[in-house]
Each structure stands twice: as structure tokens, then as C-alpha cells.
Structure 1
Amino acid sequence: MSSSVETDIGGRFKAAFRRYPAGVSVISAAGPDGPVGLTASSVASVSVTPPALSFSVTGSGSARAIVGAAGFVVNLLGPGHLGLARDFSRSGGPRFTPEQGWRTLPTGEPVLPGAVASLRCTPLHLVPVGDATVVVATVCEVFLGPTAGRLVYHDREFIASAPLPLPREGKL
């Protein structure tokens, strides 16, 4: 390979994934100094038996607290959480305010009751990869919420939409 291809692969890699829409979640945990959370678009289902998921994080303070926690909650967001996704995606954004609707589970983790779904997890594997950590976690509890629409991250922006109505029979 030429050196220009090698040095440009990171930029092209990022550009490729900017073109690929992904679901949005806020991962929350009880940190040593209070609740912590971050927006993630890397959540993926890994296994049904046993229930497991994965996500990746980089070295922010919130990420370190989540990776070090005994448990955390992956809150899958819907279209009504556009502002919350933005708040948790930037440093200094408001977090865990009463207006955002957070509650605390009996196990101590913050949970968002209005999320499309919230999955309480415990870490199974932490895999360092470059400047990131891939977290594989066992899903211990699933809380299902409303299913009205979707929130995706695409090309550096959050996009909220309601479901399209189904065509009537015989009509397109």
C-alpha cells in the first residue's frame, strides 16, 4: 500500500461510518461521584442466549466510570429524546436533570423511563482496541417503553422521525 492510503484510512473510515445511520442510546451508570452518562451510537445486539449486547467507548471521564461500574443501563432513545441525545453527547451538557425524567433503579443505576427500551447490564468482557474499549455486557433486565418513531445518528446529526403510515391494502 502507498503511504497516502495508509495515512488516509482513518479519515475515510470515519467518513464511511458517517454515511451509515445508527440508533442512539444514552448509557448511564452510578459513578463514584454521582450519575454518569454518555451518548452512544455503537450499541449492538450480540446474543439472545444469553442476552448480551456490546458498545464501544473512548477515554472520557464518563466512559471510564461506565467501564469501571459493576452495572450500567443502555437507554435506547426515541424521537422525543433528541435534546437529551445532544446534551449527553457534548461535554458540559445538562445531565440527569429532573426535566429529563431520570429515575434510579433499586440497583443504583440511573434509568430513563420514557426510553424506547432500557437494558440493565453487567460487564462480561472489556476489550481494549486502539483508543477505545469494546464492552460486551450481559443483559440482566429489560424495560420496554413507547415505540413511536425513531432517533438515528447520521452524518454528524441526530434525526428524529415518526413512523410512516402503512399503505392501505391494494394502494402504494
Structure 2
Amino acid sequence: MTLHASAPASPRAFAASLAPDDYKALFRGHPGGVAVITADAGDGPVALTATSVSSVSADPPLLVFSISALSSAASVLSRAETVVVHLLDAHDLTVAQLGATSGIDRFAETHRWSRLVTGEPVYRDVRAWVRCVVVDRMDAGGSTIIAAHALQSHVARDDSEALVYHNRTWHRLGEHSRVDP
């Protein structure tokens, strides 16, 4: 599977562009579900926390996410053939924080994770995870967008409170935050 896109206009072709701080402020108010992505391209496991995971298609089962070139996991994720995307809930906050903390060994606590029979690192006891094969990568600004085809999944909790990231903080969504029309 290959993503096909028309050639985008160069950012330099536009007379004006939104300033980076203004752009960040814009999306700070737009909450995102929290996921941790793990992979191992042969040099040892890596993990990162992401709010950019989106479902693209149910048939075939495709998802996308982006990674910053500044991430310590970027090099491995740019080479990994497969990834595991952990879709977290509020009970998984420590895993989300682990993936978001730079300069630490995210796999030092060996009781928190294991490897699937196919070799990918997977965190234990999270709400859900999906093992995917990477089908395409696209450079976009200082990030890489990765498209992945879902191969295998595990859902441990269906009725949990969602974990979202909004305005630089973690939040729990549940019945208490439900808005009825």
C-alpha cells in the first residue's frame, strides 16, 4: 500500500504563514487521544507518546500517526517494519508519562513490558494495543507521517475512561464529562 498525494505547494510559495507559537496555541485547545508507540528495528526497543494517532480506514484496517524528527525514537521508527500502537485510558497514565519523558530508559522496568511472539515490544496491562506493519512514510515539515496496516490487536478494557491530552495536561473523559445534546 502506498499513500499517493499530489505535489503540495512549497511553504515558501505562500505570502504569509502562521507563526509556530500561534500554531501551537491553536492545537493546544484541541484535545487528542493518547497512545504510546513501540518498535524495535534491531537496535533495542523504543517508545514514544503520541496524540496524533488516527483511524484512516476499517477495510483495509489502516491508521496513521506522526513522529517528530527530534524524538529519540525517530531513527528506529523510520526503519522499523512493524510497530505496536498502545491506545491508552486514564488507568495507563504512567505508561503515557513514561513514553513522554525524555532521557530515560523506557524499558528499564522489565515487569511493565514483554515481547510479542513476533518480536515487537508491548506494554502489559494497557487498555488496548494493535500490532501493525508500516505501509508508508511521508516527510512533512519536521515530522514523519507513518501509515500502518493493523495485523493483530488486544483489548483489555472497553468501558474505561479515555485519556486525552489538552492544553499541556492529561485529562480523563468519562460519564462525568459527557455532554448530551
The C-alpha deviation readout for 1:71-128, integer Å capped at 9, x for no partner, is 01000111112122112112123412135x2121011111123222101011111011
Distance 1:127 1:17 in 2: 21
* Contact 1:151–1:161 (Cα < 8 Å) also in 2: yes
1:25 aligns with 2:35: yes
Distance 2:154 2:28 in 1: 30
1:51 aligns with 2:61: yes
Distance 1:158 1:31 in 2: 30
* Contact 1:79–1:162 (Cα < 8 Å) also in 2: no
**Counterpart residue type for residue 159 of structure 1:** H
* Contact 1:102–1:111 (Cα < 8 Å) also in 2: yes
1:93/1:158 CA distance change after superposition, 3 Å: farther
* Contact 1:38–1:63 (Cα < 8 Å) also in 2: no
| Residue of structure 2 aligned with 1:150, choices 159, 162, 171 | 162
**Counterpart residue type for residue 136 of structure 2:** H
Distance 2:87 2:114 in 1: 15
Report the count of equivalent residues.
161
TM-score computed with the length of structure 2 as normaliser = 0.81
Distance 1:48 1:136 in 2: 13
Q: What are the within-5 Å matches in structure 2 for residues 36-75 of structure 1? A: 36-59=46-69, 60-75=71-86
Q: CA deviation at 1:52?
A: 0.3
Q: Secondary structure at the match of 2:154?
A: strand
The C-alpha deviation readout for 1:104-156, integer Å capped at 9, x for no partner, is 10111111232221010111110111111000111111111113211111111
Please report the RMSD computed on the Cα atoms of aligned residues, expressed in angstroms: 2.0
Aligned partner of 1:137 in structure 2 is 148
TM-score computed with the length of structure 1 as normaliser = 0.85
* Structure 2, gaps ≥5 residues long: 1-14
Q: CA deviation at 1:12?
A: 1.5
1:61/1:31 CA distance change after superposition, 3 Å: farther
Q: CA deviation at 1:7?
A: 5.8
Q: CA deviation at 1:161?
A: 4.7
* Structure 1, gaps ≥5 residues long: 167-172
Percentage identity across paired residues of the two chains: 36
Q: CA deviation at 1:162?
A: 4.7
